[in-house]
Amino acid sequence: MKNRIALLLLLAASFVSELYAQDLASLKTEAKKTYEASANLNFDAIFEHTYPKVFDIVPKEQMKEMFDQMMANENFSIKLIPVAPNFKFGEIKKIDNKFFCVVEHDNAMTMKFNKPMENAENLTETFKTSMKADDVTYDKATNTFSIKMRSTMIAVADELTKNKWKFLNNDKSGQLFSMIFNEKTKTELGF
């Protein structure tokens, strides 16, 4: 009898381990797709991978307009540079019937200003602080900043997403996250 119980426990542990591995595998696949969509500015794919509650706050069309305005305007243009994302996946946590995972990855971009910069050193420090960028350099000849940083996405799988992983970019202030999820979730994820 003890052998049967031990065997059942071993099988149950293997099953749970296998479920976790499959879930982590799907998370890795979806994170890669999300990163590639963002790096290529494929709005349809970005929106497909975005946690749906984001669109309750900012409708898709308005978000697309904001992206377009942010990427190119009268002052500067931004170009995202695809890099190896070097994903780091946190622990998958179940909080209030939702699954979460904090996903860190590398990001890179250039920001070209239309007018010559007079205070490039100050702006370099501002980018480092506000974007928490690891590496910011300025090329005076092209009037362009190169910015490299670690970014954070929060992966969410719940009833709303039909238990498929969707993502929310964690802005440095955490405002968007706080508008969608409660304080308990924020605390348990370490924000």
Q: Could you read off the pLDDT of 121-159 as tens digits, one per residue? A: 888 999 898 888 889 999 999 999 999 999 999 999 999
Q: Is the sign of the CA dihedral 92, 165, 23, 16 positive or negative?
A: positive
Nearest alpha-carbon partner for 36 in 1, 80, 79: 80
pTM to 2 decimal places: 0.81
Instruction: Residue 128: count other Cβ atoms within 10 Å of its Cβ.
Output: 15
Q: Binning pLDDT at 50, 70 and 90, where does residue 2 land?
A: very low
pLDDT tens digit string along 158-190? 999 999 999 999 876 778 888 999 989 988 998
The torsion defined by the Cα of 167, 172, 176 and 178, in degrees rounded to 10, comes to: 110
pLDDT tens digit string along 85-112? 999 999 999 999 999 999 999 999 999 9
What average pLDDT does range 3-30 have in this prediction?
A: 54
**Domain residue extents for the chain:** 2-188
Assign a CATH topology to domain 2-188.
Answer: Nuclear Transport Factor 2; Chain: A, (3.10.450)
Our measurement of the distance from residue 97's CA atom to the centroid of its chain's CA atoms, rounded to an integer in Å, reads: 21
